[in-house]
Amino acid sequence: MTSRLLASALFAGLAAGLASAALQQWFTVPVIEVAELYESGEMTHDFGQAAAGAHDHGDGHTHADGAADGHSHAADAADGHSHAATADDGHSHAAGADAGHSHAADAQGHSHGDGPEGLMRTGLTALTTVLAMVGFGLLLTAGFSLAERLTGARIDLRAGLAWGAAGFAATQLATAVGLPPELPGSAAAELGARQTWWVMAALGTAAGIAVLAYVPGPARWAGLVLIAAPHLVGAPHPDQMWGVVPPELAGIFAARVLAVGAVGWLVLGGVAGHLWSRARPA
């Protein structure tokens, strides 16, 4: 019994963690690595100035050779940031550029330059992901046990998949509504406030789904209040958007994070539910 709970969580966490780690290397880490070039100033985003000039719609979207991709290298910009060039275009990036510079100072504090690289970086990323998924697995199987005790429900593979989907909704989908997956170099509010809101949104959504699923009668609709509450409070956002990463990159990153997260959580819930029901004491 004791071992059933812990073993289900460990094996499911390992399976989901390794699957997630592989998908992260494939889909999300390469985007992070490009974003870090912008964060460090090695590449700069000129907010479409070059692209606007370079596009030739006359002959079917050919791009000029120069800064055709809308990115210019920092070497070309005196201070490593080309935001100033866009100060006149009405988007008030000039004010944002100052914040951008202070973020560049931040980045040193995060010691990205000194962080692990190569195989070590890949290994530590995988290890962290596995540990996080084992942690989520332990919370999930604790939930299995409590649900079976309190409601008489029986958790199996199918129910486990539903729990995995709920875990995804709580820790990825609901949190992303307020705090979309961030790339390095994105503008964001103060870290502590975001972490607090993230935990509140995840717990509120998880509790809300549990109430909707397991509380009998009309009282179950109180679950909707729990799910909505974090969004009524609202996530902390920065006063200004000064992110140095192109929105195209941020968009593809957010979509990929959610897709990888969905796969990881379904593996976690399915494997945990299956092992849990298979080891059920007679």
> For another protein, which is the closer residue by CB, 67 or 250?
250
Give least dist CB 88 to another protein, A: 30
Give least dist CB 276 to another protein, A: 12
> For another protein, which is the closer residue by CB, 1 or 119?
1
Give least dist CB 172 to another protein, A: 6
Give least dist CB 188 to another protein, A: 7
> For another protein, which is the closer residue by CB, 82 or 171?
171
> For another protein, which is the closer residue by CB, 91 or 280?
280
Of 210, 206, 141, 134, the residue nearest 170 (C-alpha): 206
Tokens of 38: 């912008």
Give least dist CB 150 to another protein, A: 11
Residue type, 131: L
Neighbours of 192 (CB within 10 A): 9
Task: Say if residues 227 and 207 touch (Cβ distance below 8 Å).
Answer: no
Give least dist CB 146 to another protein, A: 6
Type and span of the H or E element at 111: none
**Residues in contact with another protein by the rule CB under 8 A:** 1-2, 5-6, 9, 20-21, 24, 28-29, 32, 106, 110-112, 114-116, 121, 124-129, 131-132, 134-139, 141-142, 145-146, 171-172, 175-176, 179-184, 188, 191, 194-195, 198, 257-258, 260-261, 281
Of 211, 218, 246, 195, the residue nearest 51 (C-alpha): 246
> For another protein, which is the closer residue by CB, 21 or 85?
21
Q: What are the start-end ranges of the H helices in the chain?
A: 2-23, 29-39, 49-54, 93-109, 118-151, 157-168, 174-178, 191-214, 222-233, 247-278
Sequence-distant (6+) residues with CB within 8 A of 126 are 17, 18, 21, 24, 25
**Burial per residue of 103-133, b for 16 or more beta-carbon CB atoms within 10 angstroms, e otherwise:** bbeebeeeeeeeeeeeeeeeeebbeebbebb
> For another protein, which is the closer residue by CB, 120 or 225?
120
Task: Say if residues 179 and 194 touch (Cβ distance below 8 Å).
Answer: yes
Give least dist CB 105 to another protein, A: 13
> For another protein, which is the closer residue by CB, 53 or 135?
135
